Amino acid sequence: MRMTPQVYTAHLPGGSAAVMDIRTGRGRWRHLNTTAAHLWKQLADGITLDQALDDLTDRFVRQGADRDIVRADLEILAGQLRDTGLLDARISPTASLITPEVRPPLPTDTPLRGADRIAGLLGIATALVLLRCAPIRVAVGAAGALGGIARPVATAEQADLFFHAVRRSGRFWPGRMACLEESLAAYFAAALRGRRVTWVMGARTAPAAAHAWIEADGEVIGQDLTDRLWPYAPALRV
């Protein structure tokens, strides 16, 4: 049986990376500089740690660095990855690096059908139960299982309405509805309406940040460009 990955990687501009570990709680992001990201990519590609360290050492030596110093520094880096538990995790293959167009949110007064309102409310309830009562890996697994059910792919216009229904309904929730809750709720709302969208978690650099959203028709849905600095590189697509 194929085991579900526990760690997902967003490859960022300039050669750095952000690693999302979903093994505990709501998950944790770790940002890697270019050297750490290069080592991490080799490990994700199935290269052994010793071979990856040898290859990276040779790379710096060819650039004129001292072999012993480089190797000692890389051993420290490997130890830091080991201390975080990342070397023991199941690593996901790299997500598609295609950056879709960003579609702005619908106006707040856009009318909704009753079925979309209900789907939005139920989507929020489902997302909140999963994210508040269980580790994030449970939500990822549930979304993945739901994604295996054959349904037509939503158009961007349909996804707009599902996301809008969630955002409208979320105003009545007394707690905080962050991007993770909102995007997962929209994913479930689309499923309740018999459609499929893509749930995405990713990261960016300069400044370092993480975000979650949905995509449909090759577009990022419902994002305010004045509120977020795009693009984000995907780590996980469901």
pLDDT, tens digit (0-9, with 9 covering 90-100), for 144-174: 999 888 899 999 999 999 999 999 988 877 7
Q: Which residues touch 103 (CB under 8 Å, ≥6 apart)?
A: 156, 160, 219, 220, 221, 222, 223
- Within a domain: 129: yes
232 and 118 belong to one structural domain: yes
- Within a domain: 78: yes
pLDDT band at 84 (very low <50, low <70, confident <90, very high): confident
232 and 201 belong to one structural domain: yes
Query: Is pLDDT at 91 greater than 90 in this prediction?
Result: no
pTM metric for this prediction: 0.88
What's the whole-number mean pLDDT along residues 45-57?
A: 91
pLDDT band at 99 (very low <50, low <70, confident <90, very high): low
Domains of the chain: total = 2
Which of 34, 59, 88 is the last residue before a domain boundary? 88
Residue 25 backbone dihedrals phi, psi, to 5 degrees: 50, -140
106 and 203 belong to one structural domain: yes
83 and 128 belong to one structural domain: no
127 and 191 belong to one structural domain: yes
User: Prior bond to 100 cis, omega within 30?
Assistant: no
130 and 69 belong to one structural domain: no
- Within a domain: 233: yes
82 and 145 belong to one structural domain: no
Query: Is pLDDT at 2 greater than 60 in this prediction?
Result: no
200 and 131 belong to one structural domain: yes
Helix (H) or strand (E) holding 145: helix 136-147
Query: Is pLDDT at 15 greater than 80 in this prediction?
Result: yes
- Within a domain: 190: yes
- Within a domain: 95: no
- Within a domain: 145: yes
| DSSP-derived pairing of the beta strands 101-102 and 219-220 | parallel
116 and 199 belong to one structural domain: yes
Query: DSSP states of 152-200 as a string?
Result: PBPPHHHHHHHHHHHHHHHTT-SS---HHHHHHHHHHHHHHTT-B-EEE
CA distance 118 to 227: 27
89-92: long-range contacts, CB 8 A cutoff, minimum separation 24:
89/5, 89/6, 89/7, 89/21, 89/23, 90/3, 90/4, 90/5, 90/6, 90/7, 91/5, 91/6, 91/7, 91/9, 91/43, 91/44, 92/5, 92/7, 92/8, 92/9, 92/235, 92/236
83 and 105 belong to one structural domain: no
**pLDDT score, position 96:** 61
Q: Which domain holds residue 153?
A: 101-237
53 and 123 belong to one structural domain: no
137 and 54 belong to one structural domain: no
What's the whole-number mean pLDDT along residues 117-130?
A: 95
- Within a domain: 94: no
Helix (H) or strand (E) holding 31: strand 28-32
